[in-house]
Amino acid sequence: MRVARINTKENENLDDGLDLSLLDPIIAKHKGKKGSLIPILQGTQELFGYISRSAFEKLSMETGIPLSDIYGVATFYAQFRLHPVGKHVIKVCHGTACHVQNSLEITEALEETLKVKDGETTKDRFYTLESVACLGCCSLAPVMMISNQTYGKLTGNEAVKIVKNIKLAENN
Amino acid sequence: MVTTVTVGLGSCGIAAGAKKTYEKIKTLQEESALDFKLKKTSCVGMCYREPLVEITDDTGTYLYGEVDADRAVEVIEKHVVQHNPIRDYIVYTDLFEAPENNFMNSQVKIVLRNCGFMDPESIDEYENRNGYQSIKKILSEKISCETVIDTILKSGLRGRGGGGFPTGMKWKFANANKSADKYVICNADEGDPGAFMDRSVLEGDPHSVLEGMIIAAYAIEATHGVIYCRAEYPLAIKRLNIAIRQAQERGYLGQNIFGFEGFNFDIYIKEGAGAFVCGEETALIASIEGERGMPRKRPPFPAVSGLWKKPTNINNVETLANIPWIILNGAEAYARYGTEKSKGTKVFALAGKVRHSGLVEVPMGMTIRDVIFKLGGGIKKDKKFKAVQMGGPSGGCIPEYLSDTIVDYDSVNATGAIMGSGGMVVMDETTCMVDVAKFFLDFTCKESCGKCTFCRMGTRRMLEILHRISDGQGKEGDLEKLEEMAIQIKNNSLCGLGQTAPNPVLTTIRYFRDEYEAHIKHKKCPAKVCRPLLTYQIMEDKCTGCMVCMKNCPVKAISGERKQPHHINEEICTKCGLCFSKCKFEAIMIS
């Protein structure tokens, strides 16, 4: 059970500055169709990078699906995030092949460099560090994926170098 | 004949830099106006040699390995322009002895028949390789659905997702339930960490999966198809979408398909949202319906009441990719391969501490040892082979001394592991079996949907014990407690996830009990993995006093003068291992 995923902060800032009208086309496309809740949530996350409390409330109001149901589904699946993420999400693979080839070293090296823990976002909102179960590139283990680009046969140092280079390249 | 240059652009190839190789070759071609055809293909299974470039000219076909952008320039220059193949870089060819000839020639490719041999985004190339011939044969020869089902039954094909249930039987049940709406679902939710065969098939040969689904639809008289694919495979989803659109344009999907009056079948893709339990068929159905992916009680089986309460047939990607071949070549041709109860071939994803990690397809009945040593090339860095993990979180670890076990459903089951979807993660002497058990249990514990108490709480309690053992806090009686809880969880869980969750723990206790005992009684990790059980020391004769370890130590446990041997204070040391990885002189000893 993904108990850890459930948001326990009570005083979340309600004014998150998101333009919720962007959700209208997604709602119009799926409203009333059976089995559409997951695509709606996927679309929402695609837009904002996460599913905000305000988005939950709007989706529930407009689709008529009870808030509890939407929340239940969103917290069940690993894909959905309830907090904003950085510009780039670093997904460090912790599948079996990566695990036996020391993927822990990658996560630890990145945690140290970025000064965040697994699952957290850097202060400048540039990177979010995540662990994922398997990216299916086991032959290149250990691997990580940053914004749909996969990097393989890593060491802690190389991972740090890649992360630093991406940031440098974008800041210039 | 025009020379063709083909670049392998599967996910693994791209990760290894194949896109850059492709771009480089393209620029070369345009700049120098070179006369050759540049093509794309997917993964041929030789992931350890990526990026791969295949060149076919008048003299034959040559596969080049590890072609980065620089090597691509050399290969194009020498081979294509000067007609002078570079033998040192060629990994596979029919024409002479090359390093990977044995790897390729020891395989029997049925499922992977097209992977790496054609452009997955071209329906024409698929059709040129006997694509859509099987369904056309069925329709033109007016073969009845009963005969189709019978053929699949006779072929002995069993579900390749892990269950191993006879596919023909599944179709028979689905066919028996009459309804105006019926569903065929392709299970492409390959969640087992360490398995990637379905991804490769979807990326390399999406049309064969569509054709398999169309044949299934014909056999059970289904009207709708759904491919439930995990969202972690964006390239597979993209290529499936292209394939579906192409098939629709040719009239192979939609209304009256292949011009056959009344044969209506459409397919759409449903992206999973990341939940391992959704590989279980009733959970998968719940997920498609937009619910939390929690399994439900069977019966009623999906063949009676499945998606939207309609009769539903669910097959795995690899199973479906077998179907067109069986129809075209006959059940006997398929059943010629394999053992008495497990027919045909099986694709394995070799990964871990094996030299040749990649995809291999072998006839059932080959020994595990042959798969790992003959095809896999043995263990990396000549370390000692310790065990192989089969079946992922539902499977188990098979020790070296049982590696003459043959690969078929029943033989693998007898070891306590399962065939599963075909992941083989190879482990050497530096892999700690307690750590492996902990890894898998941590996975199933997180992925448990929470419906059954034994699975939800039991896996957590077992995990706590394992954490204690690897932290050096193990107690007498822990192993017995683990075994007792394992049996309770197996007996009291509703779905396959819970029923098999304890397998990795049970098999490691069964075959590596001494390793557990070393952790519990002697507080030692023989494989030197469990950090709290290790001590770090500096060997004075090797230490040059360069101060690198001292500077890097996050807790300042290292002291010493420049050019004098340093010392680690064990009381402060957190055993993070940073000094070990930073030391250039191998002066840090772990014991």
Mark whether B14 and B148 lie in a shared domain. Answer: no
B11 touches chain A (CB under 8 A): yes
Mark whether B200 and B160 lie in a shared domain. Answer: yes
Mark whether A160 and A113 lie in a shared domain. Answer: yes
Mark whether A66 and A96 lie in a shared domain. Answer: no
Mark whether A94 and A149 lie in a shared domain. Answer: yes
In a domain, A81, yes or no: no
Q: List pLDDT tens digits, range A84-129.
A: 889 999 999 998 889 988 899 899 999 989 999 998 999 999 999 9
Name the residue type at position B41. T
User: Who among A39, A97, A140 is closest to B425 (CB)?
Assistant: A97
Mean pLDDT for the stretch of residues B182-205: 92
Mean pLDDT for the stretch of residues B131-159: 96
Mark whether A48 and A111 lie in a shared domain. Answer: no
Mark whether B505 and B557 lie in a shared domain. Answer: no
Q: CA B86 → CA B36, B71, B72, B139, distances in Å?
A: 18, 11, 11, 48
Q: Which residue of B has its CA nearest to A148?
A: B234
Q: List pLDDT tens digits, range B368-414.
A: 999 999 999 999 999 999 999 999 999 999 999 999 999 999 999 99
Q: What is the pLDDT of residue B581?
A: 79
CATH value at residue B372 = 3.10.20.600
Q: What is the pLDDT of residue B553?
A: 85
In a domain, B108, yes or no: no
Q: What is the pLDDT of residue B194?
A: 83
Mark whether B394 and B542 lie in a shared domain. Answer: no
Of B37, B66, B101, the last residue of a domain is B101
The structural domain count of chain A equals 2
Residue A138 to residue B351, Cβ atoms within 8 A: yes
Mark whether A57 and A97 lie in a shared domain. Answer: no
Mark whether B141 and B232 lie in a shared domain. Answer: yes
Q: What is the pLDDT of residue B63?
A: 96
With beta carbons under 8 A apart, name residues in chain B contacting A34.
289-290, 308
Q: What is the interface size between A and B, counted as CB pairs within 8 Å?
A: 139
* Cα dihedral value B146, B147, B152, B155, nearest 10: 140
Q: Which residue of A has its CA nearest to B436?
A: A100
In a domain, B530, yes or no: no
Mark whether B234 and B274 lie in a shared domain. Answer: yes
With beta carbons under 8 A apart, name residues in chain B contacting A32.
none
Which ipTM did the prediction report?
0.88
Q: Which residue of B has its CA nearest to A95?
A: B193
Q: List pLDDT tens digits, range A152-167.
A: 889 888 999 999 999 9
How would you label B456-482 residue by residue, b for 16+ Cβ within 10 Å and e otherwise?
bbbbbebbebbeebbebebeeebbeeb
The structural domain count of chain B equals 5
CATH value at residue B562 = 3.30.70.20
Q: What is the pLDDT of residue A3?
A: 47
CB–CB of B111/B201 below 8 Å? Answer: yes
Q: What's the CA gap between A50 and A12, in Å, rounded?
A: 14
With beta carbons under 8 A apart, name residues in chain A contacting B287.
38
29-88 in chain B: CB under 8 A from chain A: 47-48, 50
Q: What is the pLDDT of residue B349?
A: 93
In a domain, A12, yes or no: no
Q: What percent of chain A has pLDDT over 70?
A: 91
Mark whether A58 and A93 lie in a shared domain. Answer: no
- pLDDT tier, A13 (very low <50, low <70, confident <90, very high otherwise): low
- pLDDT tier, A7 (very low <50, low <70, confident <90, very high otherwise): low
225-244 in chain B: CB under 8 A from chain A: 231-234
Q: Which residue matches tokens 């398995």?
A: B195
- Give the mean pLDDT of chain B: 94
Give the domain extent around B551.
Answer: 535-590
Please list, in sequence order, all residues whose beta carbon lies within 8 angstroms of the beta carbon of residue B58, skipping any fewer than 6 positions away: B1, B3
Mean pLDDT for the stretch of residues B496-518: 96
66-125 in chain A: CB under 8 A from chain B: 72-73, 76-80, 94-97, 99-101, 105, 108, 112
B450 touches chain A (CB under 8 A): yes
Q: Which residue of A has its CA nearest to B286?
A: A35
Mark whether A57 and A111 lie in a shared domain. Answer: no
Our CA-based measurement puts residue B426 at a distance from the nearest CA of chain A, in whole angstroms, of 8
Mark whether B574 and B489 lie in a shared domain. Answer: no
Q: What is the pLDDT of residue A1?
A: 46
Mark whether B386 and B329 lie in a shared domain. Answer: no
With beta carbons under 8 A apart, name residues in chain A contacting B439.
96, 99
- Supply B394's token pair: 């539902």
Give the domain extent around A28.
Answer: 19-76
CATH value at residue B95 = 3.40.30.10
Our CA-based measurement puts residue B193 at a distance from the nearest CA of chain A, in whole angstroms, of 5
- pLDDT tier, A140 (very low <50, low <70, confident <90, very high otherwise): confident
Q: Which residue matches tokens 């192979």?
A: B252
With beta carbons under 8 A apart, name residues in chain A contacting B195.
134, 136, 138
Q: What is the pLDDT of residue A8?
A: 53
pTM higher than the cut 0.90: yes
Q: Strands B36-41 and B3-8, how do they pair?
A: parallel
In a domain, A58, yes or no: yes
- Supply B134's token pair: 């099987």
Mark whether B232 and B330 lie in a shared domain. Answer: yes
Mean pLDDT for the stretch of residues B192-209: 93
Three-state SS sequence of B204-271? HCHHHHHHHHHHHHHHHCCCEEEEEECCCCHHHHHHHHHHHHHHHHCCCCECCHHHCCCCCEEEEEEE
String of DSSP letters for A137-166: -GGG-S-EEETTEEE-S--HHHHHHHHHHH
In a domain, A95, yes or no: yes
String of DSSP letters for B374-391: IIT-SBGGGPPEEEEEES
Mark whether A99 and A120 lie in a shared domain. Answer: yes
Q: List pLDDT tens digits, range B6-59.
A: 999 988 888 888 999 999 999 999 999 899 999 999 988 998 999 999 999 999
In a domain, B113, yes or no: no
B584 touches chain A (CB under 8 A): no
Residue B194 to residue A95, Cβ atoms within 8 A: yes
Mark whether A104 and A145 lie in a shared domain. Answer: yes
Mark whether A70 and A96 lie in a shared domain. Answer: no
Q: What's the CA gap between B326 and B191, in Å, rounded?
A: 27
Q: Does B535 score more than 90 pLDDT? A: no
Mark whether B311 and B163 lie in a shared domain. Answer: yes
Mark whether A118 and A65 lie in a shared domain. Answer: no
Mean pLDDT for the stretch of residues B160-189: 94
Reduced to 3 states (helix: H, G, I; strand: E, B; else coil), residue B178 is coil
Our CA-based measurement puts residue B164 at a distance from the nearest CA of chain A, in whole angstroms, of 22
Cis peptide before B120 (omega within 30 of 0): no
Q: What is the pLDDT of residue A100?
A: 87
In a domain, B305, yes or no: yes
Name the residue type at position B251. G
Our CA-based measurement puts residue B80 at a distance from the nearest CA of chain A, in whole angstroms, of 29
Q: List pLDDT tens digits, range B259-311.
A: 999 999 999 999 999 899 999 999 999 999 999 999 999 999 999 999 999 99
Q: What is the pLDDT of residue B375?
A: 94
Q: Does B537 score more than 70 pLDDT? A: yes
Q: CA B237 → CA A42, A55, B197, B242, distances in Å?
A: 15, 27, 15, 9
Residue A96 to residue B233, Cβ atoms within 8 A: no
137-166 in chain A: CB under 8 A from chain B: 137-141, 143, 148, 150-152, 156
Mark whether B451 and B316 lie in a shared domain. Answer: no
- pLDDT tier, A148 (very low <50, low <70, confident <90, very high otherwise): confident
With beta carbons under 8 A apart, name residues in chain A contacting B19.
none
CATH value at residue A137 = 3.40.30.10
With beta carbons under 8 A apart, name residues in chain A contacting B291.
37, 73
B291 touches chain A (CB under 8 A): yes
- Give the mean pLDDT of chain A: 87
Our CA-based measurement puts residue A80 at a distance from the nearest CA of chain B, in whole angstroms, of 8
User: Who among B193, B350, B450 is closest to A134 (CB)?
Assistant: B193
Q: Which of B193-197, B347-351, B403-407, B476-480 has the lowest mean pLDDT?
A: B193-197
Mark whether B142 and B291 lie in a shared domain. Answer: yes
Q: What is the pLDDT of residue B576?
A: 79
Residue A134 to residue B11, Cβ atoms within 8 A: no
Q: What is the pLDDT of residue B248?
A: 97
Q: What is the pLDDT of residue A171?
A: 83
Q: What is the pLDDT of residue A137?
A: 84
Mark whether A114 and A165 lie in a shared domain. Answer: yes
In a domain, B256, yes or no: yes
Q: What's the CA gap between B250 and B320, in Å, rounded?
A: 21
Q: What is the pLDDT of residue A15?
A: 58
Alpha helices in chain A (DSSP H): 24-30, 37-48, 53-63, 67-76, 96-100, 103-114, 156-171
